[in-house]
Chains A and B, each alone.
Chain A
């Protein structure tokens, strides 16, 4: 029993933070929202080179072997910087396509290296939309017959998070697998989303703490008012108790732990978003201010890969 990230895992997080800080993600996110994917694809490539997608891919196909704990470490950082794109979807695709044979050979090396962006329209994903189908190279559609390689995406539907471009997939195309590992893919995508939400919430808290320290009213920083302090303390509590659920889920990968992590991390991130908006006041309500990139994603991730009630249902199932 040693429930603590090791030095290598913490160094990995530090390295990713360095990479993402240098990447000016807000500009990348805004371009991505307009369907301009060039900067986002370049960033995706660097994230792939850093080994992030390889954490869901066996070594024989160019990955690092499946490492859910390191994946959670990495996705926390991707969330912290509001990195756009079908991140959890690409992880799900890596699991769905890992048949140990032809599909794996055909697709996994590209996913691991960051050359291939994949997305998937999955029943649990809701509404049959795939995230960023217009940007993806591989579009997987779940159909009654199995997994199909969809030839194209429909018109983009706007999300509450402008950086999430929702696209219906045509449920036609090459039938590549009749019995893909749905449940496993769902668990991996759910874990990735939970970690992303955790990072998002941590960033929202950091930004808001910094803001209330420098914003003065009535001659003092607004962060000295107890109503403000206690609200941020509550966000801190929610995040610090979501964190061990996320990493605990990565260790056990049981459906119940993964659902608990998704539920709690998304709830904490959303509480962080609500507090961030309220405490920034009107400036926080503008699209122009970069905080909006995190605020809108906190709402969207709640519904992705298992809305709260779905996660609670899984938690209540007796094993």
Chain B
């Protein structure tokens, strides 16, 4: 005798408050980088809290309405009411997947499958990076990829580097624990490098490790899987959770010891802080509080007086771009604070919005142009600044932002850790 009652489950208490907080002001949609350039995406307000009330009433919207959210989380940062807009959207995407109402063709599913799993590609790519890069650079390859799976031929695909490896200088953990004294956890640290560092930018990973070691830390890097953000963004929640469970199992012994976890990729950091605590696995209850963004951690050290500040002057003016997922962490811009500690460094914050790449969004054939449009304010801001000699280059923590900004504006864009490495005199040292 029920039709609707059984189709839709009642509302979780946790979601109710979130939904009620929306007062329909529209700030999220006004700031959404996608809505501003793409008329077919109704925007975060409409597809988030507005549609949520209808979804609870069993109304299904066409899946394409949701597919243009890039998971940049600008809406959540913008919302004056604390509504988890992106989360509502992504959950709806998941529900649709479960309901098997997905209408998009097989071709893009393969592409989204691959983009959701950068690490699979990464593993292949880093086996013989030179070859992979040569192949990826060829226009024919890119055209083929565009035609076969919808990977944009113009998008700035990252090149593969020698895989990031970090050999712990210490003995493995279990041996240490077997020893007489338990080592001081404050002196050890777990580094979560993330896929971009691991497969595409090992050198930056090494720089992070060197800076931490320079500050007296022993750096531990377990064999992590991808943090899961690309999977979530492409709608593969279950696999994202599986990755989280795997990574939490690796983290768990360190978490129990109170050892901090450092992420230099702002998306990985956000996942560890925000998504992992909600996974039902040991370690979940600790991971949020024990994870630090790399610069957030350095700032904590500085606050405690534990940061080595034996900086050499680096006379340079730089523009800083705050990655969307750093903003979402709600810790401000610790990289700017740290860089300003270095004599000679001048930092100008750009504040020109999202770069447009959003992890893998800008790699997609049908979304490449959009990604460029989204980033256009940022690019022109960079170009004008460079022309007017206000700064000489761009720094930003996120690897994706780096390649997109370099691609869109032509400006050299690197991770701010390099400034630190230079100030510490670590650059070039192996």
> Real complex partners, A and B?
no
